[in-house]
Amino acid sequence: MRSDQVKRGIERMPNRALLHATGITPRQMEKPFIGVCSSFTDMVPGHIGMRSLERKIEWGVCSGGGAPFLFCVPGICDGIAMGHSGMRYSLPSRELIADMIESIVQAHCLDGLVLLTNCDKITPGMLMAACRLDLPAIVVTAGPMAAGRLAGKPLSLVRDTFEAVGLHQAGKLSDAEAAELELEVCPGEGSCQGLYTANTMACLTEAMGMSLPGTATALAGSAKKARIAQMAGERTVGLVREGIAARRIVTRQSLENAIRVDMALGGSTNSILHLLAIAHAAEVELSIDDFDRISREVPQLASLRPGGEHMMEDLEYAGGIPALLKELAEALNVDCLSVAGMNMEELCTNARSAVGEVIHPLKDPVAPEGGICILKGNLAPEGAVVKQGAVAVGMSRFVGKARVFDCEDDAMDALMNGRIAAGDMLIVRYEGPRGGPGMRESLSLTAAVAGCGLGDKIAIVTDGRFSGGTRNLSVGHVSPEAALGGPIALLKDGDGIVIDLPERKLEVVLSDEELEARRAGWKAPEPKCQRGWLARYEHLVSSAAKGAVLEPAERAK
């Protein structure tokens, strides 16, 4: 066992003495050491219920014959960090989490891990650590929040608060109605109710085999979730004894399965950043082009909020990810192993068929292509990302005049003060991984656009990223980003921009000669952060097209 490095031999007597000081008995010293990595915090609704899940996981580890050791990593709520400078820390926190887990596991020679997570950047950060360390690990996501209710109407965070800001601005929602929504929309613990980034990543984690079947959609606070947590603790000890480490499960084939599920669900565009980063940690070749290829092969089979009307609880009651995998079986790599000890073929065979209308059959999809596609062209030579499954009817081809903003805040100010009109193409730049720094998530802007009634009349193009709750024609991850001198840095007000989803094009109507002339006059901006760890992040982060991972300085360019 890896833990033998700290507990075997007379020379390790001081190490054992310190472990005994924690309460470990001599008998427990002979057992596998299992880290229980929790992201519990009082500040995030998706994580407030983790104290009880930690206990269940510890019980499972003990039941399986291991010795559990609890440690924690931080968690940021994107909804609370949204719309201000704090959002710069959200995506970078993914790297911090991976680094912290690596540090604890390597320093204390743990044999296996149970990773208790839920929200947006914590789940991929934990998966990156598991793949980087390549040790036995299981992910437990704490589960989705139940829908809010008001006057019999189901409520979700994004549509009924973020988009309500635009409704209020347009005079369609009173102060009293807004205050009532604010109290009722989030009834308790759990990740936000739609297929936003947190729930997308939970689903993809299960699809790639790193969570036990049923984990992704089991509701927060439920007995089912508690049972899954306990089973995960027990099963992790089994993985240690069987020698099944993370990279046996996270392979090119299993990541492709995750992408297929992503396309079938119409998940968050952030999943592209995260799956690329997980592949990088697992040393698996995966590119942004793989997402578009699979998008053309796999139809969208479900339509959850923000693009549709169903909530995560509806997906759970329809059969969850096991039922979706069963429907997709003919399109999956069925030999892939899972932490459950079964391969994908066995998981699909054992799953119940979907019930109800939430999961469509392959022969009757919601849309003929997957929910996400990749655009390229002279405005995005390395690619850009759009959630085509959430684009308004009639907006798949759009030509508009550029309205250029050098940060999200300026674009939001123009919108809220009535300076945006139908036909405008909002260009929001210097919000990429390096330019932000941190690639702020732009939900406040996109939700306000929808709430103001402009969702099917304008488009947004940015080198930043969007929330999983974003809908309508919102194109993100434009690469190369403005801070690196990408073409988006050269745009001016009035330039014609063409977005064509069927043709996968994002172009500015300018000649190569005009673009080169503008480039000659462009100067790189001064770094926004001169101190603190974001200054280091800005120096080391790679392109969004490569997952915005941290690389040595010479490779991050």
Q: Does the pLDDT at position 320 exceed 70?
A: yes
User: Mean pLDDT, the chain, as a whole number?
Assistant: 96
Same domain? 243 vs 320:
yes
Question: Please, which pLDDT band fits residue 393 given cuts at 50, 70 and 90?
Answer: confident
Bridge partners of 139, per DSSP, are 115
pTM of the model: 0.96
393 and 278 co-located in one domain: no
Tell whether 204 and 266 lie within a shared domain: yes
How much is the pLDDT for 265? Answer: 97
Q: What backbone phi and psi angles, to 5 degrees, belong to 153?
A: -95, 130
**Residue 6 is assigned to a structural domain of this protein:** no
Residue 426 has pLDDT above 90, yes or no: yes
Q: Does pLDDT of 556 surpass 80?
A: no
Residues 6 or more apart whose Cβ sits within 8 Å of residue 225: 53, 142, 143, 218, 219
Residues ≥6 apart with Cβ < 8 Å to 211: 138, 139, 140, 141, 202, 205, 232, 339
Per-residue pLDDT averaged across 106-122, rounded? 98
DSSP string, 301-312: ---BTTTSSB-H
Specify which residues 389 forms β-bridges with.
Answer: none
Say how far apart CA 365 and CA 246 lie, in whole Å: 33
85 and 220 part of one domain: yes
Taking residues 397-425, report their average pLDDT. 95
Q: Say yes or no: 178 and 197 in one domain.
A: no
359, part of any domain: no
Q: Show the domain range for 169.
A: 158-184
What percent of the chain shows pLDDT beyond 90?
91
Q: Are residues 163 and 136 in the same domain?
A: no
CB 383 within 8 A of CB 375: yes
With bands split at pLDDT 50, 70 and 90, how would you rate the model's confidence at 554? low
Q: Clarify whether residues 43 and 95 are in a common domain.
A: yes
Structural domains counted in the chain: 3
Q: Which residues are catalytic, by number?
A: 467
With helix as H, strand as E and coil as C, how does 157-182 read?
HHHHHHHHHHHHHCCCCCHHHHHHHH
pLDDT at 360: 98
Domain shared by 178 and 117, yes or no = no
Indicate if 493 and 530 belong to the same structural domain: yes
State whether 249 and 332 are in the same domain: yes
- Same domain, yes or no, for 66 and 173? no
> Is the pLDDT reported for residue 553 higher than 80?
no
* Rounded average pLDDT over 550-556: 72
Do residues 448 and 428 lie in contact, with contact meaning Cβ atoms separated by under 8 Å? no
Closest Cα to residue 156, out of 241, 269, 45, 238? 45
Instruction: Give pLDDT tens digits for 21-51.
Output: 999 999 999 999 999 999 999 999 999 999 9
Written as six digits, the tokens of 237 are 């000890």
Q: Are residues 36 and 134 in the same domain?
A: yes
Q: At what angle do helices 197-207 and 320-328 cross, to 10 degrees?
A: 60
pLDDT recorded at residue 552: 82
Mean pLDDT of 246-260: 98
The total of other beta-carbon atoms located within 10 Å of residue 65's CB is 15
- Convert the pLDDT of each residue in 344-353 to its tens digit: 999 999 999 9
Residue 551: what pLDDT?
87
Judge whether 146 and 193 are in contact, CB under 8 Å: yes
Interval 167-184: pLDDT, tens: 888 889 999 999 999 999
**Cβ–Cβ under 8 Å, residues 53 and 225:** yes
Q: What percent of the chain has pLDDT over 70?
A: 99
Looking at the domain assignment, is residue 211 inside a domain? yes
What is the C-alpha separation between 548 and 550, in angstroms, rounded?
7
Choose among 367, 358, 372, 373: nearest CA to 299.
367
Q: Supply the CATH number for residue 511's domain.
A: 3.50.30.80
pLDDT digit string, tens, across residues 444-492:
899 889 888 899 999 999 999 998 888 899 999 999 999 999 999 999 9
> Which of these three, 319, 350, 381, is where a domain ends?
350
Neighbours of 328 (CB within 10 A): 23
- In-domain check, residue 476: yes
Cα–Cα distance measured from residue 225 to residue 237, given in angstroms and rounded to the nearest whole number: 19
Question: Residue 209 to residues 205, 223, 248: CA-CA distances in angstroms?
Answer: 6, 22, 10
Task: Supply 521's token pair.
Answer: 């006059």
